[in-house]
Structure 1
């Protein structure tokens, strides 16, 4: 990013947009990161729908007022989400994980107890660093799985766009910004 003086924010009907321009290189390309924050906690699906279906939506909603920077990380326990999507066998007593271990006796008595996901995005003077990882915890059957509550306080979406062409290079959304560090 070039400096704190070149970060912008604007409020639109039902949402706000934050723009963080990156330092321009030797060529003419200009990259910026944009954060789209719905005005209501459950407004992300409608905002994503608008952004994806209205022609020219992104270009019509570029911010103009100056602001300062932040960074975000997010993690959650994904087991219940995966089960809700229909992935239940690895978590059940019928799980067969013999192909994952050397002993077929041990493998037949293992199941997935939980899956955790962690992601981050950091924006600084040099640019943006982003990453994500998921981890599965394997347990012997019968051991209780640790429960972690997940509360979505105020979701928003973000994207990285090349400003001259309008090409969106990366997009995502944050489901629980209270987990940001």
Structure 2
């Protein structure tokens, strides 16, 4: 009930059945909810089905949104980046969704490797200047995802909280803290992108050269194959959500 309330009904529960038993003493919970309307909404009457090419070589028919308005798109060596701003609220925060689209239909793994391994990669590849677009299509998609994050964190080297050695004395102001340990960490997330905007929730220097020195009059951005996306608060640089779309029909 707590997760459902904190995520506006998008995530019903975080803890799977059986995850809490007689040995459970504490549950740490965290939730993040985001709902943003595009600064320029898409015209739903112009949304049409087109092929989305999967990594295995097949394709599926997917609703694609489109627009003839200028878009913040930049082209780099092997990929393009699109930035879609959200309407600003009453504070100074400025959110945008960014789409990292590899040129090659099977180029997502290599692009993800670049993003994760090169320091400052995201900051160096965010488009700001709107340009005229030629062919412009991005798919509607909805993704829900669950993960037993404890195993992932252990593989990354975070083992002490799970070991029981030293306990959680820094977090729990009680003599019992030395006997406590983290048994599991569960994470769930949800995101939907449509013509109006985005609804999302979660619980729990190299020199880059342009492909051409000549700036084209128009630039195409057709996200008809797997791509990376993220939601970023631009004033602070904080990334709220990041993920990839392999098949917009799978959720």
TM-score class, shorter: 0.5 to 0.7
- SS of residue matched to 1:72: strand
Match of 1:138 in 2: none
Change (3 A) 1:23 1:175: closer
Q: Are 1:34 and 2:103 counterparts?
A: no
Please list, as runs of the form range in 1=range in 2, the aligned pairs for 1:18-167 lying within 5 A after superposition. Answer: 33-38=97-102, 39-47=107-115, 49=118, 50-53=121-124, 57-59=126-128, 64=133, 65-67=135-137, 68-94=139-165, 96=167, 104=176, 108=179, 111-134=181-204, 156-159=228-231
Change (3 A) 1:79 1:63: farther
Q: Which string of whole-angstrom CA distances, capped at 9 and with x for unpartnered residues, describes residues 31-63 of structure 1?
A: 863311342413224247544236xx5146978
Q: For 1:81 and 1:19, locate their aligned partners in 2 and report how far apart those are by CA, in whole Å.
A: 30
Segments of structure 1 that go 5 or more residues without pairing to the other structure are: 25-30, 135-153
Q: For 1:62 and 1:118, locate their aligned partners in 2 and report how far apart those are by CA, in whole Å.
A: 36
Change (3 A) 1:58 1:92: same
Change (3 A) 1:11 1:92: same
Q: For 2:112 and 2:238, locate their aligned partners in 1 and report how far apart those are by CA, in whole Å.
A: 17
Match of 1:147 in 2: none
Match of 2:66 in 1: 7
TM-score, normalised relative to structure 1: 0.53
Q: Which string of whole-angstrom CA distances, capped at 9 and with x for unpartnered residues, describes residues 43-93 of structure 1?
A: 224247544236xx5146978323242122333222133224443222114
Q: For 2:43 and 2:232, locate their aligned partners in 1 and report how far apart those are by CA, in whole Å.
A: 17
> Cα RMSD (Å) of the superposition?
4.7
Tell me how many residue pairs correspond in the alignment: 150
